[in-house]
Amino acid sequence: MNSAETVATLHGRMAEISAAHPTVAATFWSVSETVDYAELNRRALAAAAALVRRGVRRGEPVGILSPNAPEFLISLFAVAAAGGAATPLPLPAGTRQLGGYPQKLAAIVEAAGMRTVLVSHRFADLAAPLGDAVPVELVDTAKLFEEVATATVPLPELGGDDLAIVQFTSGSTATPKGVRLTHHNVLSGLAAIRAGIALDLTDRGGFWLPLFHDMGLFGTLSAILRGIPAHVWSPMAFVKDPARWLAEFAASGTTITAMPNFGYEALLAAIPPEQVTDYDLSNWRIAFNGSEPISRDVVNAFCTRFAPAGFAPTTMFGVYGMAEATLAVAFPPLGRTPVFEWVDRAALSDDARAQLVSSDSTGARAVAGVGSAVAGLRLRIVDPADDHELPDGAVGEILIQGASVTDGYLTGDPAAVAGLFADGWLRTGDLGYRRAGELFVTGRAKDMITVRGVNYYAQDVEAAVRDLDGVYKGRCTAAIDPDGADVIALIAESELTAAAADELADRIRGQVAAAIGLTAIEVYLVAPRSIPRTSSGKLQRLAARSLITESR
C-alpha cells in the first residue's frame, strides 16, 4: 500500500497500516520498548475514546509532553482520532533551561488556547512544578491509556480539512507561533517525502531528533505510515555518545535517517579514521542533511571518512524544508552526489547576486544545492521589495505554495505573523537563488546584518572563526551588537583562562577581518554550553544576545 490518498485522515492511514503490516514495529532504543503497528493503532483508538469522553473539542489543540517513547505516538494518533489537534511540546534542552521552562511552556499554552496536556508517565517529577505555572489540565498518559470505556464511545467523523497537528516552531522569537496543519497537509507532506526518496517496503527509518521537532516527527511518521520498521533514539543518546548511536544504527540495518549538519560533524568528531571499519554502513541509503546550513567541508569530510565503512557519496542528501510545509520543500535527485557552487561572498551579500567564482578566489563561499520542489509543491524566488520573480542567479526570498503548506498560525500576537502570506504564497523568510532549476539556500533574511552600509551573512562570520583553537567545539554565533550601532557581536564558547581568552579574542577579530573584511566586531567569550539552542540543537543567534549583558 503506497498511497496516502486512499484515506483522508492521519488516523485513517494508521488504521490501514495496522491492517496491512500488523507485526511491523517501532523500536524505541533509549527506553528499551517496542510497539507493533497493530498495537499502536489499538491503543491510540482506545485513548481517543477516553479523550472524547473527557470532552476534547473538534480542532482543539491538545499538548503532548513526552520523550521519544511509545506514548508520544499513541498520544498523537489518539488526539487526531478524537478530533483534536496534536500539539507536540518542547522539552528543556538541558538543566540550564529548566528555570525558564515553565514560562516558555505557559506562553505556548496561551498562544494555542490549550486546555489539556498529555504528560508522559516518565515525567512525574516534572508535572508538579508545571501544574503550578501552566494553567492547563495535566493528564498522565499511563492513566489515560488504562481508562476502560463503560460504553461504546463514537469517534467523530473527520475529513482532510480538519486540523490534525499544531507544530510550534523552534525559533528564538519571544512570541511562540504554532503552525496549523490539517490532515490533508500532513498526508500530502508525507506523500512528497515518500515519492522524493522512493521509500520502499525494504527500507527502515531511524531517527534521534526529538519527536516534537518537525524533522524528527515527520521523519518518523514517514516510516510508520509507509509500514516499514521505525527505530527511534533519544536526542541525548546521540549527543552523549554519537559513536554508540552509529553502532546501533548500523546494527539495526536502518537505511534512512535525518539530522542537521552538526550531527554529521559530531559523528566525524566521535569516530577517528582508524575506527571507521568497525561499522557497516552499506545499508545506509538516505542521509537527510537539513534544518541548518549545509557545510561543504563537513559533507566532503564525512563522505571521505566513512567511505571505507560502505557509505556512498550519493547517500548524502542535502535538503530544504520547514514545519510550514509539513517538512519537505526541495529534494535533490536520487543517486546524485552532493552539489555545491562557489560564489562571490561580497556580490552575494551586497548585490544579491550569486556570481560564480573559482574555489580559490578571495571571498569565495560554497553554497549547497538542494534540488528542486518536491511533488505537489511550487516555489518562487522574489524580490522582497515588490515580490516580482527573479531570474536565475539573483538572490531573493523563497515563497512556497502547495497541498502540504499551512494556511496559518496559532499565536498570541497576530502582528508577528501578519504579512507572511502573499496571494496564496507563504513567505518562508529564507533567502536563496535558482540556477538551471536547482535551488540554493543562502540564509535567513533576519540573519542578514548590515554594518556601515555593507551586508554580511551571520553564518559567514561564524564560519570564519569556528575552527580556531580555543573555540569550544566550534560553537559561536553572530548577531548585531545590541549596544553598538554598526557593530557585529561574535559570541563564542571557550574554556580558556582570562589571559588566554584575550589572545583568542584578538585572533577572532583578525580572522574575521582577513576572511570577510569586517573589522567592526566585538567578541564576547562565554562558558561552554552557554549559547541557547533550538529543539534540534541549532544555536540561537537572537536569544544568544542576552549573554552579552551577562558577560559584562
What was the pLDDT predicted at 466?
86
pLDDT grade for 4, boundaries at 50, 70 and 90: very low
Residue 204 to residue 191: CA distance in whole angstroms: 16
Tell me which residue of 536, 325, 537 sits closest to 428, measured CA to CA.
325
Percent of the chain at pLDDT exceeding 90: 66
Residue 172 has pLDDT above 50, yes or no: no
Residue 454 has pLDDT above 80, yes or no: no
Asked whether the beta carbons of 185 and 325 are under 8 A apart, the reply is no
Cα 459 to its chain centre, rounded Å, is 18
Residue 347 has pLDDT above 90, yes or no: yes
Query: What is the helix (H) or strand (E) element at residue 110, kind and residue range?
Result: helix 101-112
Residue 484 has pLDDT above 70, yes or no: no
Residue 181 has pLDDT above 80, yes or no: yes
Residue 86 to residue 179: CA distance in whole angstroms: 11
Cα 355 to its chain centre, rounded Å, is 30
What was the pLDDT predicted at 3?
43
Structure confidence by residue, pLDDT tens digits, 208-231? 999 999 999 999 999 999 999 999
pLDDT grade for 497, boundaries at 50, 70 and 90: confident
What was the pLDDT predicted at 174?
55
The residue assigned the cell 520498548 is 33
Domains of the chain: 7-196 (3.40.50.12780), 253-439 (3.40.50.12780), 452-551 (3.30.300.30)
Query: What is the rounded average pLDDT for all residues in the chain?
Result: 90
In the predicted model, what is the mean pLDDT of residues 264-282?
A: 96
In the predicted model, what is the mean pLDDT of residues 269-291?
A: 96
Give the HSE-up count for residue 213: Cα atoms under 13 Å, Cβ half-sphere. 27
Structure confidence by residue, pLDDT tens digits, 45-93? 999 999 999 999 999 999 999 999 999 999 999 999 999 999 999 987 6
Residue 451 to residue 432: CA distance in whole angstroms: 21
What was the pLDDT predicted at 51?
96
pTM: 0.88
Count of other CB atoms within 10 angstroms of residue 468 = 16
Asked whether the beta carbons of 522 and 528 are under 8 A apart, the reply is no
What was the pLDDT predicted at 220?
98
The residue assigned the cell 562558558 is 527
The C-alpha cell at 353 is: 547576486
pLDDT grade for 170, boundaries at 50, 70 and 90: low
What was the pLDDT predicted at 18?
98
Angle between helices 70-81 and 10-20 in degrees, nearest 10: 120
Give the HSE-up count for residue 291: Cα atoms under 13 Å, Cβ half-sphere. 31
What was the pLDDT predicted at 133?
78
What was the pLDDT predicted at 1?
37
What was the pLDDT predicted at 97?
56
State the DSSP string of 117-129: EEE-GGGHHHHHH
The C-alpha cell at 203 is: 527500507
What was the pLDDT predicted at 59?
96
Quick one: DSSP state of residue 97? G
What was the pLDDT predicted at 483?
67
What was the pLDDT predicted at 400?
98
Structure confidence by residue, pLDDT tens digits, 124-156? 777 777 777 788 999 999 999 988 765 578 999
Residue 338 has pLDDT above 80, yes or no: yes
Tell me which residue of 490, 384, 386, 401 sits closest to 444, measured CA to CA.
384
Structure confidence by residue, pLDDT tens digits, 511-531? 888 888 788 888 889 888 888
What was the pLDDT predicted at 331?
98
**Side chain identity, residue 175:** T
Percent of the chain at pLDDT exceeding 70: 93
Q: Nearest-5° angle of CA 329, CA 334, CA 339? A: 75
Local structure of 289: helix, strand or coil: strand
Residue 19 to residue 309: CA distance in whole angstroms: 37
Structure confidence by residue, pLDDT tens digits, 382-392? 999 899 999 99
What was the pLDDT predicted at 485?
61
Count of other CB atoms within 10 angstroms of residue 551 = 12
